A and B are shown apart, each in its own frame.
Chain A
Amino acid sequence: MKKVGLLVLCVLLACSFVFANGQGEKSSAAAKKPLIGVSIWSSTDTLGSQCKLILDAAAKALDVDIMYVDQGHISEQVTASAETLSAAGCDGIIICNSASAEMTSVINTCTENKVYVAQFFRAINQKDNPNEYALALKSPYYVGTVHENEIDNGKNLVKILCDKGARKIALEAWEAGDATFLLRWQGYKAGIEAWNKEHPNDKAVLLDPQYGGTTSDTGRATAEAIINANPDIDALIVAGGGGDTLVGALAAIDSMGLKGKIKVVSTDFLADLDKQLATGGMAAESGGHYCDPLFAFMLVYNTIKGNYKTSTNSFYEINFPYLYVSSPEDYAAYAKYFVDDLPYNADELREMATLSVEDLTKKAASLSIQDVQSRRSGK
């Protein structure tokens, strides 16, 4: 009797394995959607929430599942986010890391777990981080990077300030050692150098950075400390930090009665930039780059689908342009196509997903207010 019972149990077990396996394959083949993870500093701050909007729109248009992990640009959380997303079963990850050193762990995690990864807003500098760069080249799971030319961005902002008459410029950053800030800072210094070379009798000076974190209250406290310590500054660069640092810095300037007297430039558009430009709160701002992660998403999506091939000696690199806004009119045009609406609709997103890497690169480079204007007017 026992033997018969055991036999029946074995048969049942074997059947369950066979049928469960078959059923699983069938259902997974039918329901399996690509899952792409997004490791971002914050999906709720000014810039982060805009990135989330366009990524959610792309995921919906392409029928992809998407998962966010906010890591606050804290190194150990950045590396942990890659592990979390890999463990969650992501087929690909797009990541905005803080320092390039974190990418060693991120790439190794993704390679071990066979998960494709692309960076957004960030690139590994071959000269400064040769080991990370070599690892990125070698890994077949490192798809590539989408990033802005931060040095040029820094130069342009300093030029705008100097053209507007600023000569003593203070600098408020968000986190010491952040890869993007270091590049922007390089650009600010290069901008000052270029101005002083061209105007030897009317030199400008850039103060050393102070770090105000990524919250508005710490941003305000640091801006107040900078202004108190340097009452003769005529401009303040808030290097970035997602927008909240700038909100705090503007509150500091406003409460000290210096609105319009201290020219403020920054990167990462504020939601009320039009009002700030109209009232003199801001002198200029570069930004509008929230579509950058969209292109990283497309790189990873197409690699998962097998449309883009990865290699062990190269990776894809897409340069993304900044938009510069220095008047309420500039902003009105920007708001119409980038704030009130998204610059790409569902059909355009689906079409973008069919492009080759070369065409995708061209598509990224061509994004501007005029580009969206022409697409919407059907030209």
Chain B
Amino acid sequence: MTPPRFALVAYMNDAMNRFQKNRFFGLIVLVAMAVLFWAFFKILSPSNFGTGKLLVSYLQTSIQYAVGGCGLYFIVVMGLFDFSIGANIVLSSLVGVLLSRQFGYWGLVLGCLICGTLIGAFNGVLYSKLRIPSMIVTVGLMLVLESVANYVVALDTSGFPGKLTSPNILALNHAPWNYIVAGLAFLSVVFILRYTKIGTYCNAIGSNEYVAKNMGIDVEKYKFIGFVLLHFFVGVMALLTVSYGKGMQAVTGMSSMDRNFKPLMGTFFGIAFKKYGYPVTAIVIGEFIITMIFNGLVSLNVPTTINDFVTGAVLLIIVTLTNRGRIGSVVK
């Protein structure tokens, strides 16, 4: 007969295993993490952190990065990477701003989206044709796009190059339109990942490219589609970013690289929670948590340099806890 103490332990283990297999487990963990961070800062800084109004403000800041993170998911899940996201944001934003001078919202929206998508197609073609690692191709493209952006900004003779100064073009600068655009982007990503073969094949290629190829998946084609989708959503991010900051600055010398990492942090959340079936939710909540940490530390008057340290450390801890390989597994 099993002693009662061991029976309790076995029951607890069994219950935990069943809980982990629950389809909502990932979602519960994500929400619990967000609540945990909220509670931590709320206790330390009760008066100036985490009220309903402030949470909405944090969400507004984070959604643009979440849209980029969702786009990045399409290629990161296949084991690829793209360093030209920041440069695409800069160039697409500047093209959008330039066209908005003539065509108003149509120019801004279509300029950002079409330019972003075309860059994606260009990246995809170069990656497939040159047959060199995506990191190398996209570093080269980053330099090219930054340079082109400087020529585009020179074409803007409005007196406010790269800036959205007219209040008639700033609907995406605030609620509800920024939420509507971001919401549509999230729903599109969920739809593509869950209900189209693009999502299935992307995951299959990411799991094992050779097996996927042997199964008859046209790997090159789906990698190309991955780049196009990534940069379409980067175009959406550019639209939200240029509206949010009321302008964009052309940069050179790889300075656009900074813009790659905030969406990437969200993508890491998505990859970590992929096994639970909620990558998009994980990206959105992940970006929200990162923004909340930033605001929490500012509310405690912590310098931004320490802020970066804490954000990086938290990201590493979360991804390690949720996505750590088993002992002996090969980590690439």
Q: Is the CB of B294 within 8 A of A225?
A: yes
Nearest-CB distance from B311 to chain A (Å)?
Answer: 13
Q: Is the CB of B301 within 8 A of A208?
A: yes
Q: Is the CB of B245 within 8 A of A225?
A: no
Can you give 17 contacting A-B residue pairs, CB < 8 Å? A44-B154, A44-B251, A70-B251, A208-B303, A210-B304, A211-B304, A220-B246, A221-B294, A225-B294, A225-B295, A225-B299, A229-B298, A229-B301, A231-B48, A250-B246, A251-B245, A271-B159
Q: Which of B153, B246, B255, B304 contacts A248 (CB 8 A)?
A: B246
Q: Is the CB of A251 within 8 A of B295?
A: no
Q: Is the CB of B245 within 8 A of A272?
A: no
B173 at the interface (CB under 8 A from A): yes
Q: Is the CB of B160 within 8 A of A271?
A: yes
Residues of B within 8 Å of A45, CB to CB, are 249
A222 at the interface (CB under 8 A from B): yes
Residues of A within 8 Å of B299, CB to CB, are 225, 228-229
Q: Is the CB of A72 within 8 A of B304?
A: no
Nearest-CB distance from A271 to chain B (Å)?
Answer: 5
Q: Is the CB of B153 within 8 A of A44?
A: yes
Q: Using a CB-CB cutoff of 8 Å, which residues 271-320 of chain B contact chain A?
A: 291, 294-295, 298-301, 303-305
B221 at the interface (CB under 8 A from A): no
A74 at the interface (CB under 8 A from B): yes
Beyond A44-B251, A229-B295: 10 further Cβ-contacts under 8 Å?
Answer: A42-B252, A71-B253, A72-B252, A74-B255, A215-B248, A216-B246, A228-B49, A229-B45, A229-B301, A251-B246
B13 at the interface (CB under 8 A from A): no
Task: Please judge, given known A-B contacts A229-B299, A248-B246, whether A49 and B161 are in contact too, CB under 8 Å.
Answer: yes
Q: Which of B45, B165, B245, B304 contacts A217 (CB 8 A)?
A: B245
Nearest-CB distance from A242 to chain B (Å)?
Answer: 8
A224 at the interface (CB under 8 A from B): yes
Q: Is the CB of A42 within 8 A of B244?
A: no
Q: Is the CB of A221 within 8 A of B61?
A: yes
Q: In the complex, what residue of chain A is closest to B242 when comparing beta carbons?
A: A217
Residues of B within 8 Å of A242, CB to CB, are 249
B163 at the interface (CB under 8 A from A): yes
Q: In the complex, what residue of chain A is closest to B163 when comparing beta carbons?
A: A247
Nearest 5 Cβ contacts at the A-B interface: A216-B245, A217-B245, A229-B299, A225-B298, A72-B255
A214 at the interface (CB under 8 A from B): yes
Nearest-CB distance from A219 to chain B (Å)?
Answer: 7
B247 at the interface (CB under 8 A from A): yes
A21 at the interface (CB under 8 A from B): no
Residues of B within 8 Å of A74, CB to CB, are 253, 255
Q: In the complex, what residue of chain A is closest to B255 when comparing beta carbons?
A: A72
Task: Please judge, given known A-B contacts A71-B253, A251-B245, whether A224 and B48 are in contact too, CB under 8 Å.
Answer: no
Q: Is the CB of A220 within 8 A of B244?
A: yes
Q: Which of A211, A228, A272 contacts B48 (CB 8 A)?
A: A228
Contacts between the two chains (Cβ within 8 Å), count: 114
B21 at the interface (CB under 8 A from A): no
Q: Is the CB of B253 within 8 A of A77?
A: yes
Residues of B within 8 Å of A210, CB to CB, are 298, 303-304
Nearest-CB distance from B177 to chain A (Å)?
Answer: 12
Q: Which of B57, B246, B251, B305 contacts A42 (CB 8 A)?
A: B251
Task: Please judge, given known A-B contacts A44-B161, A271-B160, whether A72 and B251 are in contact too, CB under 8 Å.
Answer: yes
Q: Which of B173, B248, B252, B294 contacts A251 (CB 8 A)?
A: B173
Task: Please judge, given known A-B contacts A210-B298, A225-B294, whether A70 and B165 are in contact too, CB under 8 Å.
Answer: no
- Among A217, A220, A230, A272, which residue has the most Cβ atoms of chain B within 10 A? A217
Residues of A within 8 Å of B300, CB to CB, are 229
A360 at the interface (CB under 8 A from B): no
| Separation of A5 and B276 alpha carbons in the complex (Å) | 81
A176 at the interface (CB under 8 A from B): yes
A364 at the interface (CB under 8 A from B): no
Residues of B within 8 Å of A208, CB to CB, are 301, 303
Task: Digitize A226-244: 1 where CB-to-B-CB distance is under 8 Å, 0 elsewhere.
Answer: 1011110000000000101
Q: Is the CB of B305 within 8 A of A211?
A: yes
Task: Digitize B44-59: 1 where CB-to-A-CB distance is under 8 Å, 0 elsewhere.
Answer: 0100110000100100
Task: Please judge, given known A-B contacts A72-B255, A208-B303, whether A42 and B249 are in contact too, CB under 8 Å.
Answer: yes
| Separation of A272 and B64 alpha carbons in the complex (Å) | 26
| Separation of A243 and B98 alpha carbons in the complex (Å) | 19
A207 at the interface (CB under 8 A from B): yes
Residues of B within 8 Å of A225, CB to CB, are 294-295, 298-299
| Separation of A230 and B299 alpha carbons in the complex (Å) | 7
Q: Is the CB of B295 within 8 A of A255?
A: no
Nearest-CB distance from A78 to chain B (Å)?
Answer: 10
| Separation of A248 and B162 alpha carbons in the complex (Å) | 13
Q: Is the CB of A272 within 8 A of B304?
A: no
Nearest-CB distance from B238 to chain A (Å)?
Answer: 10
Task: Digitize B132-174: 1 where CB-to-A-CB distance is under 8 Å, 0 elsewhere.
Answer: 0000000000000000001001100001111101000000011
